[in-house]
């Protein structure tokens, strides 16, 4: 079971949803990076449960504890260990599924693979694990900022309500101005209505998180198996509930001709190599070309619904199962900081790999 990601900027996450704590060990972060507990906490606060009436009411403060690797506000170059204690588990809410295979969950597949599973919230398959990723992502983001690289994820679709403005027309400072994290207030209000309707009907709804990365220098990524877009795709698809990833023109590009789709080069007034269009999404041949990197991540509806469904138990018997407990009617608002974090982790690793490859 792989619990680690990255080659030079490497993280290893640990802990379960209903265990004592979840956390992360970050290895390879350069010494001297200025980081405060408030920087990490801010990222975790954006992800934590109980933020609004369209997220799970589970009340977790998600207070981060720094156990190693940071001294007097700077990284020391040694392994960094961050831990967040679990305080508001209601494990009894899951007693009814001890032997049941919940539809579209990992209950059956974990049992098939390991012969056992932690039914209390899903154990390692729970999105609670992403606390560790977001904490690590705060350090990766700080590292990227030193090089002028910014990552901005936002909700661009909930159900059938879609934000159709090009990202260049959006004000990213407004991402956190509403509880669905869409930077367009009018569209956000419609999205919130869709989530509230699903919640009131004891149902769930999915959507899309879009992400824009600016300031990436040309040259990040590898030409064959470690293509930059492939690693971004792997990182995004490792997030719970993700069903799809596309970058640049994505699937819409298939309807274009090459004469329309090709990004033509030119040299700007400062002598920088630029492209007149950016259907490539800032990546060509698996390597960044200096343009904005942009991509979309599709999230399915949350699998736990508070309605009766047919399934089977671990004895193969047909049963009727009804969801209980505290769950998100839509994962998207809390997924935004997770997408931010995973994008930052990928780019921080490639940035360090690029620097290491130079004499």
CB burial class (10 A; 0-12, 13-18, 19+) of residue 280? buried
Contacts of range 252-261, beta carbons closer than 8 Å, 24 or more positions apart:
253/279
Residue 301 marked in a binding site: yes
Residue 300 marked in a binding site: yes
Packing angle, helices 228-237 and 332-356, rounded to 10:
150
Residue 304 marked in a binding site: yes
Euclidean distance between CA atoms 254 and 50, whole angstroms: 41
Burial 149-188 (b: 16+ CB within 10 A, else e): bebbbbbbbbbebebeeebeebeeeebeebbbbbbbeebb
Nearest-CA neighbor of 294 among 85, 150, 93? Answer: 150
3-state secondary structure of 186: helix
Could you count the other beta carbons within 10 Å of the beta carbon of residue 71?
11
Euclidean distance between CA atoms 214 and 290, whole angstroms: 9
Q: Which residues, 6 or more positions from 162, have their beta carbon under 8 angstroms from its beta carbon?
A: 156, 187, 208
Q: Which two tokens stand for residue 192?
A: 């919130």
Euclidean distance between CA atoms 70 and 32, whole angstroms: 9
Sign of CA dihedral 326, 331, 336, 342: positive
Residue 85 marked in a binding site: no
Residue 303 marked in a binding site: yes
Is the separation of the CB atoms in 198 and 330 below 8 Å?
yes
Residue 241 marked in a binding site: yes
Distance of alpha carbon 323 from its chain centroid, rounded? Answer: 25
Euclidean distance between CA atoms 101 and 4, whole angstroms: 27
Name the binding residues for FMN: 124-126, 240-241, 285, 300-304, 326
Name the binding residues: 47, 124-126, 240-241, 285, 300-304, 326
Name the binding residues for NADP(+): 47
């Amino acid at each position: 079971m792989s619990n680690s990601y990255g080659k030079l900027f490497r993280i290893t996450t640990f802990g379960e949803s209903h265990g004592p704590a979840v956390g992360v060990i970050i290895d390879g972060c350069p010494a001297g990076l200025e980081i405060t507990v408030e920087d990490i906490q801010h990222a975790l606060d954006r992800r934590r449960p109980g933020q609004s009436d369209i997220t799970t009411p589970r009340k977790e403060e998600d207070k981060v504890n720094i156990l190693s690797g940071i001294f007097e506000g700077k990284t020391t170059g040694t392994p960094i260990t961050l831990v967040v204690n679990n305080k508001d588990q209601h494990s009894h809410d899951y007693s009814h599924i001890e032997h049941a295979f919940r539809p579209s969950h990992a209950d059956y597949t974990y049992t098939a693979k390991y012969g056992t599973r932690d039914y209390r919230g899903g154990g390692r398959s729970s999105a609670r694990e992403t606390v560790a990723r977001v904490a690590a992502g705060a350090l990766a983001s700080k590292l990227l900022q030193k090089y002028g690289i910014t990552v901005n994820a936002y909700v661009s679709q909930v159900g059938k309500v879609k934000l159709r403005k090009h990202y260049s027309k959006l004000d990213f400072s407004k991402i956190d101005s509403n509880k669905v994290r869409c930077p367009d207030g009018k569209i956000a209000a419609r999205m919130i209505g869709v989530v509230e309707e699903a919640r009131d009907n004891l149902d769930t709804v999915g959507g899309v998180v879009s992400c824009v990365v600016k300031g990436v220098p040309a040259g990040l990524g590898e030409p064959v198996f470690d293509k930059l877009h492939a690693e971004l795709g792997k990182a995004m698809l490792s997030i719970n509930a993700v069903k799809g990833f596309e970058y640049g023109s994505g699937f819409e590009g298939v309807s274009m001709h090459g004469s329309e789709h090709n990004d033509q080069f030119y040299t700007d007034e400062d002598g920088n190599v630029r492209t007149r269009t950016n259907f490539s999404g800032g990546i060509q041949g698996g390597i960044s070309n200096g343009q904005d990197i942009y991509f979309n991540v599709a999230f399915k509806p949350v699998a736990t619904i508070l309605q009766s469904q047919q399934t089977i138990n671990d004895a193969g018997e047909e049963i009727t199962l009804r969801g209980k407990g505290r769950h998100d009617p839509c994962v998207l608002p809390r997924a935004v900081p997770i997408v931010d974090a995973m994008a930052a982790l990928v780019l921080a690793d490639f940035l360090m790999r690029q620097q290491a490859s130079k004499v």
